[in-house]
Amino acid sequence: MSWFGDSHKLKMPIPAEALPGREGAMPVPDQHAVNGAPLRPPYPAGTEIAEFGLGCFWGAEKLFWQTPGVVSTAVGYSGGYTPNPTYEEVCTGRTGHIETVRVIFDPKRVSYGELLKLFWEDHDPTQGMRQGGDHGTQYRSAILTHGEAQQREAEASREAFQASLKAVGRGIITTEIHPAPEFYFAEAYHQQYLKKVPNGYCPNHSTGVTLPADFFKSETAAQRAADAAAAIQKAR
């Protein structure tokens, strides 16, 4: 999927350099191609939203739609400047967006901590503006949070995973963690792409390192989140 090899793609553009985009939102199907769930809001009562960037969004979306407790998924673009960008525009490196997976999940069936575990273990979060051979700002690692609880738990999970990486001599995490900006849906053909093209591009950049097995248990995650929040507050 890395169609443009220019070195400027490895540097975030400033707003003045960004492409202008457009007012109209990208048309997407009403229903998920795998399970028939809604792609756009409103989502089923009791569900929550999580959003992640972990490289090429085709394989990342499949990872989450296969997870029990995940109700719906969609792919799109987040964290840039250009409104309603196209895929080709994102690939130029002049929109600043991340290829993002939106995950609609039932917290009674799968916890946010379990989704974080999948996120960390399915890509290499130390690579900056790339994943493997895919180079560019769109491939940077990111957790885009919905609410303070997600923010705290995501930060705690980063500390836990960094310790696991350090134990095996791997590098420093470059993952962005911040409140979710506007999510722009990607084109219809990208939605559930690997359902439509089963043998499509789906690289594996996982490190083999795991988040501690007990992290996603609610009481452990809550304590880690509280500890992380306390550490952040102390550092201010």
For residue range 98-126, list pLDDT tens digits in order. Answer: 999 999 999 999 999 999 999 999 999 99
Section 125-141 average pLDDT: 96
Q: Which residues are 130's β-sheet partners?
A: 135
Alpha carbon 169 to chain centroid, angstroms:
25
Question: Of the ranges 29-38, 145-154, 174-183, 212-221, which one carries the lowest mean pLDDT score?
Answer: 212-221
Q: What is the pLDDT, as a whole number, of residue 136?
A: 95
> Using CA atoms in the order 88, 94, 95, 96, what is the torsion angle rounded to 10 degrees?
120
Is the residue at 2 inside a domain?
no
Average pLDDT score, the chain: 92
Structure tokens at 97: 């967006």
Q: Which residues are 76's β-sheet partners?
A: 100, 185
pLDDT at 216 over 70: no
CATH number at residue 228: 3.30.1060.10
Taking the CB of residue 21, how many other CB atoms lie within 10 A of it?
Answer: 16
Is the residue at 99 inside a domain?
yes
Structure tokens at 78: 């987040």
Is the residue at 158 inside a domain?
yes
Q: Which residues are catalytic?
A: 56
In which domain, by residue range, is 224 found?
Answer: 7-235
Which of the pair, 102 or 224, is modelled with greater confidence? 102
Q: What is the pLDDT, as a whole number, of residue 74?
A: 98
Q: What is the pLDDT, as a whole number, of residue 1?
A: 41
Is the residue at 1 inside a domain?
no
Count the domains in the chain. Answer: 1
pLDDT at 170 over 60: yes
Section 133-156 average pLDDT: 96
Is the residue at 200 inside a domain?
yes
Give whichever of 111-125, 202-216, 219-233 has the largest mean pLDDT. 111-125
Section 87-95 average pLDDT: 97
Is the residue at 85 inside a domain?
yes
pTM, full prediction: 0.90
Q: What angle do CA 57, 60, 61 make, to 5 degrees?
A: 85
Q: What is the pLDDT, as a whole number, of residue 222?
A: 56
